[in-house]
Homo-oligomer: A and B are copies of this chain.
Amino acid sequence: MRGKPDDITIRAWARLMAAQHLALSAVERALKAAGLPPLAWYDVLLELERAGGAGMRPFALERAMLLAQYSVSRLIDRMERAGLVERRDYARDGRGQLVAITDRGKAMRRGMWPVYAGAIEQAVGRHLSAQQAGALDELLGRLVAGHRAEEVE
């Protein structure tokens, strides 16, 4: 049987929800205000740029970004329409495909970064010392790691 969380855990949970919500909406707002696409697009562009010229399989993107399959499928749709990524056939598996970043996509990612970075600094950096950021990272890392462990179960 599952145990019950104690008060401090509940408070930490509530703060986790609130802090992320506030931080994320601040960043999304900043991007929108600058006439840029949503944050998810940045993440895709970054993944694809890291993946190199060959591109990346959609299902890999799915795992990297913690998104649902249909969600990735449609995200790629939109980004392809915007000319930021392109789909290519994947020779070694007829079902599959490769998604690659275009030059426009690279330019977009570069253009988004200053705004994104500034917003992160405002939402997070500004409020924490390096020590504190490190501690936060470490604590959140435990939660993330815990989930990864349960995935296997």
A16 within 8 A of B: yes
* Nearest CB of B to A148, in Å: 9
Report if A140 contacts B (CB, 8 A): yes
A127 within 8 A of B: yes
Contacts of A125 in B (CB 8 A): 3, 5-6, 9
Interface CB pairs A-B, < 8 A, 12: A5-B117, A5-B120, A6-B125, A12-B133, A16-B136, A22-B66, A22-B147, A123-B147, A127-B143, A128-B139, A132-B142, A136-B139
Interface residues of A (CB under 8 A from B): 2-6, 8-13, 15-24, 26, 66, 117-118, 120-128, 130, 132-137, 139-147, 150
5 cross-chain pairs, A with B, having the tightest CB-CB distances, nearest first: A20-B20, A2-B118, A15-B140, A127-B146, A9-B125
Q: Closest CB of chain B to A63's CB: distance in Å?
A: 12
With A19-B144, A21-B66, A139-B132 given, is the CB distance from A123 to B12 under 8 Å? no
Contact between chains at A10 and B120 (CB < 8 Å) = yes
Known contacts A4-B117, A12-B137, A130-B6: A19-B143 contact under CB 8 Å: yes
Given that A18-B144, A144-B19 are contacting pairs, would A5 and B124 also be in contact in the complex, using a CB cutoff of 8 Å?
yes
